Amino acid sequence: INPARGSHVDVLIIGAGPAGSFLAFALCRAGMRVKIVDKREVKIPTGHADGIQPRMIEVFQSYGLAERFLKEAAQIRVKAYYVSAPEGGIVRTILEPTVDGSRYPFEATLAQSGIEDLLRNAMAEHGVYVEQPKVPVSLSLSDDETELQTHSSKVYPVKVVLERPNDSVGVKNGRNGHTNGATAVLGSANGAVQEVVRAKYVVGADGAHSWVRSAVGIDMVGESTKFVWGVVDFVPESDFPDLRISCAIHTKYGNCMIVPREKDLIRVYVHLGDVEVGDSGRIDRSQFGPDEILRVAQKCFYPYKLSAPQGFDWWTVYIVGQRVASSFSVKNRVFIIGDACHTHSPKAGQGMNASMSDAHNLAWKLAYVMRQWALPTLLDTYELERRKFAQDLIDFDKMFATLYSNTPKPGDKDHERFVEACNAYGAFISGHGVQYEASTITNIAHSPLASGIVIGQRIPPGTVVQVANFRPYELHDLLPSDTRFKVLILPGDASKPKQKAKLDAVAAELDRPEGFLKRFTPAGVPVDAVFDTITISHTTCAAANTLTIPSRLQPHWSKVFIDAETLCERVGGNLYASYGVSDAGAIIVCRPDGYVGMVAALDDLAAIGRYFANFLQ
Ligand code: FAD
């Protein structure tokens, strides 16, 4: 149990949408003292984002959240494309799988409130609750440069004054009814109760109109498009056969997208093409309601019928704005994540995923620096990695939103171009293709040793077999988001004397005081607190023997695996081939967020030592 007590906290998070809630959960799970506030009186009941990518489901799984998520979410395994038929009406042109080559071969949908519930329940297990309604009214950074550079446990260089709006009693909370014990309560001119919080780090997860971003003077760079879309959620009545799969419908009467949802709901997006956008970039929402949005959808659907006899669950109208923040942090003390630093169209279902992925990227880095296990420069990689991703996302979105919003004219190829783009960018849309560039934590120097792995991308899934009991495991399940680096030692066939000798040498090297394992594991913490070593030999079940593996590499029997087909289920045996690792073996270093940091030869532990020396201390 580690809620923030008193007015000093490790991390103050402003905003409890998907980004802030995810970060709060990841940090309190890592043992950090977290305080999270939101301006809303209560959490959102319905609507907003709903699409979760296959990669995000993997991330949920790594935090132990996937089971709960999958119980509630709808699964989209197949998508269809429709166009205007020559004889009138619409016709299906393509039916294909949503995602290929994924551990979770589907996209899933659940209302944003369901995702926020999942995260709030998970953080409550660590004693952390969203304090709401509460807003920041001032934020100041220490002007002492030495203090800012000192990431020691006693330095709190960010001061934030929080206020509970419209609160005459002093303690008025949201549904959860918790305050996390924050004190230092002050009065204020307008009668609202204020409190001063001193934090090591502040994270603005307060959405597209971020107060934190403005307070620290970060700009958004980009523009609004001319595309105006309407979206409405309802339980449909229809004779259209494909309402429970994802559909893109491109017709001469307009464009429309169907997303099946949990509890019999569907979401319909329509392009409201001929809407005037004022100079302010805002639209006159009074012109629209859910009935108008449904009417446009009904035109696209003709000759199929579509109605909402039970009314509408949620709706909105929006202009697509494509912007990225000029900076994602100030002095590595104030960060912004999620919509606070990137906005784009919701069409490819990216925003909530991108926002939680920002949090996933930042959480382990903050934990390492706060524990003083890593150099503060590790925090630079948050902006380096996530800003590049955000820019890639905006570039993709510009192309995608244009293709989606164009109304096909006879003879043109817009529909074909749209289908091609969906396929070409499939890995990016699913989240698997996200590529972090070379940096101190992403060393792309040794990739030929594992030619099937892209350094800087998430490690692909695969089946391995635990030697002690021949139980098959999904490798991803051995790589939880527990802030440890996973060192995967693939020695080739360890039952062969030559490879066994190499493995013994790896173990001996790890035992040396100068080896990375001893050098970067701080005194007083468990031997596997920073590095979790897992050995996967390319050996048959019959030849496998845990005793072959040096004891240094098996602190516990559960850490020894083989790449072999199991005797019962007949699964496995393809990991070396799919990772492109030869029988000469390789060592793969996985970062705590599941991305491959580096690959080295078995006899090159020095290279791994140099890699860690770049950012660990
Ligand atoms: P938000 O969800 O905006 O959360 C910000 C939080 O901060 C809010 O709770 C707010 O109350 C709080 N806050 C704001 N200001 C303050 C303040 N001053 N003090 C305290 N708290 C504050 N994304 C997808 O991934 N998939 C989809 O399918 C998808 N569909 C979408 C459909 C629509 C119609 C729209 C509009 C968006 C969609 N998105 C989708 C995008 C997605 O909603 C956002 O990208 C996502 O919600 C961003 O999460 P966030 O936590 O960064 O911000």
Interval between CA 39 and ligand 1 midpoint (Å)? 13
Ligand 1: does its nearest atom lie under 6 Å from the Cβ of 353?
yes
Q: How far apart are CA 405 and CA 256, in angstroms?
A: 9
Answer yes or no: do 213 and 232 share one domain: no
Burial class (CB in 10 A: 0-12, 13-18, 19+), 32: buried
Residue 579 is a catalytic residue: no
489 and 579 part of one domain: yes
CATH number for the domain including 591?
3.40.30.20
- Residue 256's φ and ψ, nearest 5 degrees, are -150, 150
- CB contact set of 498 (below 8 Å; sequence gap of 6+): none
Atom of ligand 1 nearest to the CA of 259: 28
Q: Is residue 234 part of a domain?
A: yes
Helix/strand number for the chain, H first, E second: 15, 29
The answer, yes or no, to whether any atom of ligand 1 lies below 6 A from the CB of 349, is yes
- Asked whether the beta carbons of 535 and 503 are under 8 A apart, the reply is yes
d(CA 313, CA 73): 17
Most ligand 1 atoms within 8 A of CB, residue of 13, 44, 112, 117 to mutate: 112
Q: Does residue 113's CB lie within 6 angstroms of at least one atom of ligand 1? A: no
Strand locations in 212-341 (E): 220-234, 237-238, 246-251, 254-260, 266-271, 306-307, 312-325, 329-330, 334-336
Q: Which of 104, 269, 436, 579 is catalytic?
A: 269
Ligand 1 contacts CB of residue 231 (under 6 A): yes
17 C-alpha to ligand 1 centroid (Å): 6
Within-domain flag for 437: no
Same domain assignment for residues 501 and 585 = yes
Domain at 350, CATH number: 3.50.50.60
Clarify whether 261 is annotated catalytic. Answer: yes
458 in the same domain as 344: no
Residue closest via CA to ligand 1's atom 14 equals: 206
Can you name the residues that pair with 92 across neighbouring β-strands? 82
List the catalytic residue out of 3, 346, 491, 592: 346
Active site residue 103: no
- 614 φ/ψ angles, rounded to the nearest 5 degrees: -65, -30
Determine the 3-state secondary structure of 357 from DSSP: helix
Q: Which long-range contacts (CB under 8 A, 24 or more apart) does 500-505 make?
A: 500/548, 502/585, 502/602, 502/603, 503/535, 503/537, 503/548, 503/549, 503/550, 503/553, 503/602, 504/550, 505/602, 505/603
**Are 295 and 424 within one domain?**
yes
Question: How far is the centre of ligand 1, averaged over its atoms, from the C-alpha of 49 (Å)?
Answer: 7
Q: Is 346 in the pocket of ligand 1 (CB under 6 A)?
A: yes
Contacts of 424 (CB under 8 A, 6+ apart): none
Output the pLDDT for position 385. 97
For ligand 1, is residue 38 a contact (CB within 6 Å)? yes
Q: What's residue 407's pLDDT? A: 64
Over the stretch 120-140, which tens digit does the pLDDT of each residue have? 999 999 999 999 999 999 999
Q: Which two tokens stand for residue 526?
A: 């468990």
Whether 436 is in a domain gets the answer: no
**Which pLDDT does position 429 carry in this prediction?**
83
Q: What is the rounded CA–CA span in Å between residue 48 and residue 207?
A: 12
Same domain, 84 and 60: no
Contact 312, 233 (CB under 8 A): yes
The secondary structure element, H or E, covering residue 456 is none
Q: Is 257 in the pocket of ligand 1 (CB under 6 A)?
A: no
| List 120, 261, 458, 484, catalytic entry | 261
Query: Does 356 fall in a domain?
Result: yes
From the list 298, 275, 270, the residue with the least C-alpha distance to 224 is 275
Number of domains in the chain: 3
**Pocket flag, ligand 1, residue 157 (CB < 6 Å):** no
**φ/ψ (deg, to 5) at 576:** -60, -45
Domain membership of residue 435 (yes or no) is no
Catalytic residue, chosen from 10, 38, 50, 358, is 50
The predicted structure's pLDDT at residue 1:
36
Gap between the terminal Cα atoms of the chain: 27
Distance 338 CA to ligand 1 centre (A): 8
CA atoms of 506 and 282, how far apart (whole Å): 62
The answer to whether 50 touches 110, Cβ cutoff 8 Å, is: yes
User: Which ligand 1 atom minimizes the distance to the CA of 351?
Assistant: 45
Residues 273 and 299: beta-carbon distance below 8 Å: no
Kindly state if the Cβ of 347 falls inside 6 Å of ligand 1: no
Residue nearest to atom 3 of ligand 1 (CA): 207
Q: Residue 438: inside a domain, yes or no?
A: no
The two structure tokens encoding residue 79: 């998508």
The atom of ligand 1 lying closest to the CA of 206 is: 7
CATH number of the domain bearing residue 90? 3.30.9.10
Ligand 1 centroid distance, CA of 75 (Å):
22
Length of the chain: 617
User: Are both 160 and 178 inside the same structural domain?
Assistant: yes
Cβ of residue 318 lying under 6 Å from some atom of ligand 1? yes
* Nearest CA, atom 36, ligand 1: 48
Could you tell me which residues come within 8 angstroms of residue 190 by beta carbon, excluding any fewer than 6 positions away? none
Is residue 450 packed enough to be buried (19+ CB in 10 Å), middle (13-18) or exposed (0-12)?
Answer: buried
Q: Do residue 129 and residue 250 come from a single domain?
A: no
Low-confidence ranges of the chain (pLDDT < 70): 1-6, 166-191, 273-283, 347-348, 405-412, 446
Distance (Å, whole) CA 312 – CA 79: 24
Ligand 1 in reach of 40 Cβ (< 6 A): yes
Give yes or no for residue 408 CB within 6 A of ligand 1. no
The answer to the question of residue 287 being in a domain is yes
Q: Which atom of ligand 1 is nearest to the CA of 318?
A: 36
Is 252 in contact with 84 (CB distance < 8 Å)?
yes
Token pair for 555:
């602190």
For the CA of 352, the closest atom of ligand 1 is 25
Q: Is 212 in the pocket of ligand 1 (CB under 6 A)?
A: no
Greatest pairwise CA separation for the chain in angstroms: 78
Q: Are residues 451 and 509 located together in one domain of the fold?
A: yes
- CA 179 to ligand 1 centroid distance, Å: 23
Asked whether residue 518 falls in the same domain as residue 564, the answer is yes
Minimal-distance CA residue to ligand 1 atom 45: 351
How remote is the CA of residue 576 from the centroid of ligand 1, in Å?
41
**Does the C-beta of 315 come closer than 6 Å to ligand 1?**
no
| Cβ within 8 Å of residue 327, ≥6 positions away | 218, 383
Q: Can you tell me whether residue 362 is helix, strand or coil?
A: helix
Inter-residue contact 197 to 162 (CB < 8 Å)? yes
Helix, strand and coil in the chain, % to nearest 5:
30, 25, 40
Q: What is the pLDDT of residues 562-609, one digit of tens each?
A: 999 998 889 999 999 999 999 999 999 999 999 999 999 999 999 999
- In a domain, residue 94? The reply is yes
Task: Verify whether residue 346 is a known catalytic residue.
Answer: yes
Which range of residues forms the domain containing residue 294?
76-110+220-324+392-430
Sign of the four-CA dihedral 253, 259, 260, 262: negative
Q: Is the CB of 16 under 6 A from ligand 1?
A: yes
Instruction: Select from 25, 107, 206 the residue to mutate for testing ligand 1; criterion: most ligand atoms less than 8 Å from CB.
Output: 206
Residue at 132: amino acid letter: Q
Residues 423 and 565 in one domain: no
pLDDT of residue 279: 57
The atom of ligand 1 lying closest to the CA of 354 is 25
Q: What is the pLDDT of residue 119?
A: 97
The protein residue with its alpha carbon nearest to ligand 1, atom 43, reads: 49
Which whole-number Å values give the CA distances from 458 to 89, 171, 423, 446, 453, in the listed order? 43, 44, 20, 16, 9
- Same-domain check for residues 305 and 367: no
3-class DSSP assignment, residue 478:
helix
Position 466, amino acid: Q
